[in-house]
Structures are given as structure tokens and as C-alpha cells.
């Protein structure tokens, strides 16, 4: 029996999942879970990177205390963020959170220097204001001291792996999210680096998911009193790991990775680089086995997380199940927001911003917690329909339903409303998609599964998948028309 460990760091929490494989059946156990709260210090919003590293060590210690003989481990996390390792081998500065305001206007400025069409043709990546490319531009403009000759840029899992192994590598799936990686030449794009005056030496060799990235270094083994275990590069972008874990049977399928973000799309063999993909602002993020995720970011449950944080600040604490219960009692299909309006990207008072959006669009403001939560969840479900249709249009496929994975599937109302909105079944599971995809890639690397399809079959047979059949079709078709008009979303 092989025991391996997956660390999955989401924007709201992190966990260490122990995976065991017996006769093709996967069992998982959550060894460790920890919050991932960003830290505001002065004007800046940071990740608490050393705390995250500490939590990874805690996970390893818990495995040791349980007497588990680990064969390997892997780390995945949210994308686009990074740290620099200076010439002295130390972390230079503390990584910024992608929601920090330092990138304000950076995307527009870069696009004034390099046409958007050139950037898209060279990377296939959607235009999000916090992509690594714009963060680097903003740091350069600010003459940040972290940018130095001879430094190395490491994405978040690259950085944590470096602390563990002492080896510096960039991993493919996360590298693509920088919007500086060319999926056709399969390398950092020299032209974009030249145009932005970013030294090639900052960017290292790129490992594909499934390649060995090193072993726990002696100092770490000594500190923790553990044996040196192999550390694999997995699909280190959490969305890449989540999609690897989709328990699909069909080659072409639609998915929604539902957590802090909602990521909806399909898996393709080659990046889709034509004009319509750029116009619809779809992305082609690198995946396991040289696949690409043709998908679009939707703001997701972040808006609900921020409402919850705001209510907590006011002294009202609600669990997610309580919020879902309150929403289920509120008036249906009353008010809508476009979750992807710029208003909702930065942290802050989301209930007030939802009210502002409603005033702007001549709608009555939702009154009370239940109505606000209902507005968020129904608007998400309707936005899912919009992106589902765009995914079908772009890929030329018609999907029989939607696979949902991620922590958000514990919200059964959202799953049901998503089925209602798209008018097709939703298959929900597993909820720990990213961590399970992380485990699957380690097992493929070790030969325990022949390929991703064998791994997906094992996932299908090892974890429950809940089916939600669509209902109330007429109501939702009417609501979708209103939603499209109110939000101004065009074809």
C-alpha cells in the first residue's frame, strides 16, 4: 500500500491530504487543515508565506507522529503569485497577494505598450489585472528592491518546494499563468520578456507535472526528524490539479472548479488562440499531460466569503451552512449582480458593494443576510450558464452536463441552482478535487496508474458523485433573460 501526501493551498484555506491506494481504490484522510488568511500591513496585502511553510512542516510532522511511511509528496496552490530568491539564496521581500492594489492600471499600461493581440497570441492567457506579467510591470515601475540581477522568480509552490528541497525549479502549469509562457514553443516567451525588459535569468527550467523535483533536504529532515522523501512536481496550479481529478468518462467534458474562484471550461489538447477566444477573454492554462484548460475565471464564492467576513467584523458570525439555510428561505430570483464586475475584485465591504451595484442597475437592494446570499448564489448560477454557453461555442462541443469539484459543492443549493440555470445535470464531486488531483499525478509518476484516464476512473469509483437534475426550467430561463439585460452581458 502506497501512502503519499498532497498539500493543497487554496486562497481561503490549506490542507494536507494523505492518500492511500489499495487495489485501485483511493482512500484519503485529512491530516492537517489550516486557514490561509492574507495579511494587510501598511498599504500592502501579503500572503503569510512563512506561516504556510510552517503549516507544511506541521503536516509532515503529523504524518511522522502517526508512523506513516511516506513515499512522496507534492504541493499545489493558487496561481499567479510569486517570490524572488536573491543571489544569497534567501527570499527577497514577502510575496504580495494578487488582490493587492499595486497592479492597478498596470494591465492597461502594458497593453498600451504591447497590443493585447500580441500578448494573447504568444501566451493564450486571459487578461486578468493581477497576472504575474502585470505584477512584475508594477514592481518595475515602483523600482521595487526585490527585482535584482541574478535573482530567481519562483511561483508559490516553487518557493515552498525550494524551502523543502533546496532546488529551484519552475513548474509548467503555474508558469503558464504568468502570461509570459509560450504554449506553442513550450518555453518562456523571449519576445515578451524583451519588450518588458525582464531578464531571462529570472526564469528557470520548467518541470512538467509528474517529474521529480527533488527530495527533502538534510536540514529539513534533521529539523523534523523525518526521512528524506521525494518531492514531485504535480499540476501545481490548484485548478490544474482540480481538473486532473474530474471523474469524467468522456474525453470532452465541461467542468466547474468551485472554491474561492469559480473556474469553468473544458480540457483541450492544444491551446485555442483564435480571436474569439481572446474576445471572450478565455484562457489556455497548462494542464497535466500537455493538455490545456480552455476556461474562464468567474469571481466565485469569494464574494460570499467577503460578506461573511464583513458580518463577522460587525459581530455577526455565520457558518457557511447557516448562510445557505438563510438563502433558501429568501425570495427567489429577485436581484442579480454580475459577479465579475470590477467592484467585487478587491477585498472589502461586499454587502455595501452589492447594494451599490443594485442601485446602479435600478434594482431594489437585497434586504438582510438571506437575500444578499441568495442574490450572490443565484447570480453565480446564472453567470455559470453564460460561461457554459461560451465554452460550448468556443470548443464547438455540446456537453451533456457539468462536472463540479471543489469545496463549493458542499453548497447543495448552489449545485441545484447551477443545474437549473444551465438546464442540464450537474455531477458534483469530489469536493477535495485539487488535493486528489495532486495525489493522482504523484501516483501516475510512480506507475501506480497508467495514465490520467485510469486515475479518473479510480477517482470515480472511490468518491461519491452527487447528481443534481435541472428543475424549474421556465423560471430560470426567464431569470437568465433578465440577468443578461441587467448585467449588459452581450453575445
Nearer to ligand ADP, 12 or 446 (CB): 12
Residue 381 contacts residue 414 (beta carbons within 8 Å): yes
Residue 10 found at the interface with ligand ADP (CB under 6 A): yes
Residues between 382 and 441 with contacts to ligand ADP, criterion CB under 6 A = 406-408, 410-411
Q: Provide the sign of the torsion angle of the four alpha carbons 107, 110, 111, 112, taken in this order.
A: positive
Residue 115 found at the interface with ligand ADP (CB under 6 A): no
| CA 127 – CA 124 distance, rounded (Å) | 10
Q: Shortest gap between Cβ of 297 and ligand LRH (angstroms)? A: 5
Nearer to ligand ADP, 224 or 345 (CB): 345
Q: Shortest gap between Cβ of 7 and ligand ADP (angstroms)? A: 12
Residues between 204 and 263 with contacts to ligand ADP, criterion CB under 6 A = 259-260
Residue positions annotated with a catalytic role? 238
Q: Shortest gap between Cβ of 126 and ligand LRH (angstroms)? A: 8
Residues between 258 and 287 with contacts to ligand ADP, criterion CB under 6 A = 259-260
Residue 301 found at the interface with ligand ADP (CB under 6 A): yes
Residue 328 found at the interface with ligand ADP (CB under 6 A): no
- What b/e sequence results for 281-313 when a residue is b if at least 16 CB atoms lie within 10 Å of its CB, and e otherwise? bbbbbbbbbebbbbbbbbbbbbbbbbbbebbee
Residue closest to 95 by CA, chosen among 35, 34, 157, 143: 157
- What b/e sequence results for 370-385 when a residue is b if at least 16 CB atoms lie within 10 Å of its CB, and e otherwise? bbbbbbbbbbbbbbbb
Q: Which of 304, 343, 380, 435 binds ligand ADP (CB under 6 A)?
A: 304
Residue 126 contacts residue 277 (beta carbons within 8 Å): no
Q: Which does 283 bind (CB under 5 to 8 A by kind): ligand ADP, ligand LRH, none?
A: none
In this chain, which stretch among 9-17, 111-119, 269-277, 415-423 interacts with ligand ADP, using CB under 6 A?
Answer: 9-17
Nearer to ligand ADP, 10 or 401 (CB): 10
Q: Shortest gap between Cβ of 301 and ligand ADP (angstroms)? A: 4
The site for ligand ADP, by CB under 6 A, has a size of: 17
**460 in helix, strand or coil?**
helix
For the chain, percent helix, then strand, then coil, each to nearest 5? Answer: 40, 20, 35
Q: What is the dihedral of CA 314, 318, 322, 327, to 10 degrees?
A: 30
Q: Which long-range contacts (CB under 8 A, 24 or more apart) does 272-281 make?
A: 272/124, 272/394, 272/395, 273/120, 273/121, 273/124, 273/184, 275/117, 276/393, 276/394, 277/120, 277/124, 277/394, 278/116, 278/117, 278/120, 280/390, 280/394, 281/126, 281/127
Q: Which does 242 bind (CB under 5 to 8 A by kind): ligand ADP, ligand LRH, none?
A: none
Nearer to ligand ADP, 308 or 456 (CB): 308
Nearer to ligand LRH, 71 or 239 (CB): 239
C-alpha angle with apex 347: 341 to 348, nearest 5 degrees?
95
Residues that bind ligand LRH (CB under 6 A): 10-11, 78-80, 98, 237-239, 260-261, 263, 297
Q: Which of 305, 363, 397, 446 binds ligand ADP (CB under 6 A)?
A: 305
Nearer to ligand ADP, 49 or 448 (CB): 49
Q: Which residues bind ligand ADP (CB under 6 A)?
A: 10-13, 259-260, 301, 304-305, 320-321, 324, 406-408, 410-411
Amino acid at each position: 500500500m502506497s501512502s503519499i501526501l498532497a498539500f493543497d493551498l487554496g486562497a481561503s484555506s490549506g490542507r494536507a491530504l494523505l492518500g492511500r491506494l489499495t487495489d485501485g481504490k483511493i482512500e484519503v484522510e485529512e491530516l492537517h487543515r489550516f486557514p490561509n488568511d492574507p495579511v494587510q500591513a501598511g498599504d500592502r496585502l501579503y500572503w503569510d508565506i512563512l506561516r504556510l511553510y510552517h503549516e507544511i512542516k506541521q503536516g509532515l510532522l503529523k504524518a511522522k507522529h502517526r508512523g506513516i511511511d511516506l513515499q512522496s509528496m507534492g504541493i499545489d496552490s493558487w496561481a499567479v503569485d510569486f517570490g524572488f530568491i536573491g543571489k544569497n539564496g534567501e527570499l527577497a521581500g514577502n510575496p504580495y497577494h494578487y488582490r493587492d492594489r499595486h497592479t492597478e492600471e498596470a494591465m492597461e499600461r502594458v497593453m498600451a505598450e504591447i497590443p493585447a493581440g500580441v500578448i494573447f497570441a504568444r501566451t493564450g492567457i486571459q487578461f486578468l489585472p493581477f497576472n504575474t506579467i502585470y505584477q512584475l510591470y508594477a514592481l518595475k515601475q515602483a523600482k521595487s528592491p526585490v527585482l535584482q540581477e541574478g535573482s530567481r522568480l519562483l511561483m508559490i509552490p516553487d518557493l515552498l518546494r525550494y524551502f523543502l528541497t533546496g532546488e529551484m525549479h519552475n513548474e509548467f502549469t503555474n508558469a503558464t499563468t504568468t502570461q509570459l509562457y509560450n504554449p506553442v514553443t513550450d518555453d518562456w516567451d523571449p519576445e515578451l520578456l524583451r519588450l518588458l525588459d525582464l531578464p531571462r535569468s529570472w526564469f528557470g527550467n520548467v518541470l512538467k507535472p509528474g517529474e521529480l523535483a527533488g527530495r527533502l533536504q538534510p536540514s529539513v529532515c534533521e529539523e523534523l526528524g523525518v526521512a528524506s522523501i521525494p518531492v514531485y512536481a504535480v499540476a501545481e496550479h490548484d485548478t490544474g490539479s482540480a481538473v486532473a481529478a474530474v471523474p469524467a468518462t468522456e474525453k470532452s467534458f465541461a467542468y466547474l472548479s468551485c472554491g474561492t474562484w469559480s473556474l469553468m471550461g473544458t480540457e483541450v489538447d492544444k491551446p485555442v488562440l483564435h480571436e474569439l477566444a481572446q474576445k471572450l477573454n478565455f484562457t489556455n492554462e497548462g494542464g497535466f499531460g500537455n493538455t490545456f484548460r480552455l476556461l474562464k475565471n468567474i469571481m466565485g464564492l469569494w464574494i460570499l466569503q467577503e460578506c461573511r467576513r464583513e458580518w463577522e467584523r460587525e459581530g455577526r458570525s455565520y457558518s457557511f451552512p447557516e448562510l445557505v439555510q438563510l438563502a433558501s428561505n429568501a425570495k427567489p430570483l429577485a436581484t442579480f449582480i454580475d459577479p465579475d464586475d470590477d467592484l467585487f475584485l478587491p477585498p472589502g465591504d461586499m454587502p455595501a458593494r452589492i447594494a451599490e451595484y443594485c442601485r446602479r442597475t435600478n434594482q431594489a437592494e437585497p434586504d438582510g443576510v438571506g437575500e444578499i446570499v441568495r442574490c450572490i448564489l443565484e447570480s453565480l448560477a446564472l453567470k455559470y450558464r453564460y460561461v457554459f454557453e461560451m465554452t460550448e461555442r468556443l470548443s464547438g462541443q455540446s456537453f451533456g452536463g457539468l462536472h463540479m469539484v471543489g469545496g463549493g459543492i458542499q453548497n447543495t443549493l448552489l449545485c441545484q441552482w447551477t443545474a437549473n440555470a444551465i438546464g442540464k445535470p450537474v455531477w458534483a464531486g469530489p469536493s477535495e478535487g485539487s488535493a486528489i488531483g495532486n495525489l493522482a499525478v504523484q501516483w501516475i509518476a510512480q506507475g501506480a496508474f497508467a495514465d490520467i484516464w485510469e486515475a479518473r476512473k479510480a477517482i470515480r469509483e472511490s468518491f461519491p458523485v452527487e447528481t443534481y437534475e435541472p428543475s424549474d426550467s421556465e423560471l430560470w430561463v426567464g431569470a437568465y433573460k433578465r440577468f443578461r439585460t441587467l448585467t449588459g452581458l452581450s453575445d
